[in-house]
Amino acid sequence: MINVSSPVSGVAGTTVTLTGSGFTGATAVNFGATPATSFTIVSPTRITAVAPPGSGSVLITVTTAEGTSNGIGFVYNAVAPVLTSVVPNQGPVAGGTTVTLTGTGFTGATAVRFGTTLAPFLIVSATQITAVAPAGVAGTVPVTVTTAGGTSAGVSYTYVGAPSVTSVVPSQGPLAGGNTVTLTGSGFTGVTAVRFGANAAFSFTVVTPTQITAVVPTGVAGPVQVTVTGAGGTSTNAVFYFYVGAPVLTAVTPAAGPLVGGNTVSVTGSNLLGATAVSFGATPATSFTVVSATEISAVVPAGAAGTVGVGVTTPGGTSNTVPYLYAGVPTLTSVVPNQGPLGGGNTVTLTGTNLTGTTAVQFGAVFVGFTVVSDTQLTATAPPGAAGAVNVTAVTPGGTSTGVPYTRLAPPGI
């Protein structure tokens, strides 16, 4: 028989003292249908027992070989839930993230709050709840669980604003990608993706909350929006990266010039915008100006006699080359025959050096027809003129030769 229990209420783990009679040889102490966590027979009239987990009102009974005693009431006090983790512990300010709450005492939960805002939730078990984060403002709030036993201590959840991209440097590059660019902006902590249009960056590194370096993926010619995705969502700033086709050259005009350079040529082709270099062989142009996507004006540097390839470099890559001739200053050493009639019309042969690319032959101040036979020989038609000697000169992109004399002879008189 049980006469008294003390205390008459408590929580799991409470030690209860039972006073009565006939406790010798007790084999069980039950709280309702649940055995006590443990019990000790102190004397034939007293037993101490540790309350097992339970809820509500139960009857405590003692069982011996003689049978089971009467029951005496014990009330389980409600216990506040304990929240130990929230996973994930961050999400966008727009809400909508499903999180898992882990802890104890969740049975009968009546509310889950993010800060002061109620969230939809589902009790999975006494130790787990899933909840959908409501909308919030950027910053950290405590997540709590409320049951009949009270409200848990809060566990932090951070509302993260969407990242913002303000610039990408350089802002253009080749179709093949593979080049590294620097993105500047804000909210980059925890970024999970960087995209160039629909294509993910080959790789990226979050350097600071305001800077990311990314390796550009392959793309097609034209602009694409650069976006960054993090826990707070995806950036929406209109920041663009331009995929540029490799430059293609078709001509350089004029295609020859003097060894000392300094002359201006027009380099034509396609995809020439943004050119960063123009070279004549291995030598950079003295200066250049991008006129349009199809033309560059360049000042030729000094060079050695011979042909070199002219190339252009842009963010899209390096072009093919087109030939440019560095022409040495021409020389004339002889004109054969070196005399002729006043009426002209006779053909003469001019011998010298660097005559390839000759653009003019003059007898004195008179331009005449000519043919380039080789780098050392020209043929020309002598013009009519007054009796006497004139200087014959040849003009090439390399300059004007020194003169050799040609004499017009008057016919003999009687």
**Which residue segments constitute the domains of the chain, with CATH numbers given?**
14-76 (2.60.40.10), 82-160 (2.60.40.10), 164-244 (2.60.40.10), 248-327 (2.60.40.10), 331-409 (2.60.40.10)
Strands 90-92 and 155-160: parallel
pLDDT in tens, 295-327: 999 999 999 989 999 999 999 999 999 999 999
Q: Alpha-carbon distance 244 to 267, whole Å?
A: 19
Mean pLDDT of the chain: 94
Which CA distances in Å does 86 have to 97, 142, 173, 217, 219? 12, 10, 43, 36, 40
Q: Is the model's pLDDT at 17 over the cut of 90? A: yes
Provide, rounded to the nearest whole percent, the portion of the chain with pLDDT above 90.
87
Q: Is the model's pLDDT at 11 over the cut of 90? A: no
Q: What number is the average pLDDT over the span 122-131? A: 96
Q: Which residues contact 137 (CB under 8 A, 6 or more apart)?
A: 93, 159
Q: Alpha-carbon distance 11 to 52, whole Å?
A: 8
pLDDT of residue 232: 87
